[in-house]
Structure 1
Amino acid sequence: MGLSPAEFTKKSFLTALDFVCCDDKTTGQIRDFTPQIDDALYRHWRESHPLTQGETETVAYDLTSLLFFGVESSLAELGYNAKRAKRRQVNLALLVSKQDKYPISHFVYNGSRNSSSTIRNLIARLKDTSIDPGTIIWDRGNVSKDHVKMIELADWKLICGVPKGASRNNYINYRLLKLHAR
Structure 2
Amino acid sequence: MNLKTCTKCGVTKAFDHFHAHNRSKDGKRSTCKTCRQSEDPGAAARARRYYANNREKVLAYQKAYSKDHPEVAARSQKVWLGKNGFLYQVQWKRNNPGRVNALTAKRRECVRRATPTWANLVEIEKFYIEARALTESTGVPHHVDHVVPMTSKLVCGLHCQFNLQVLPGKENLQKHNRHWPDMP
TM range (shorter): under 0.3
* Structure (1/2) with the larger strand percentage: 1
Higher RCO (Cα < 8 Å, 6 or more apart): 1
What TM-score results when the alignment is normalised by the length of structure 2? 0.22
Q: Which has the larger radius of gyration?
A: 2
Q: Answer 1 or 2: which has greater helix percent.
A: 2
TM-score w.r.t. the length of structure 1 is 0.22
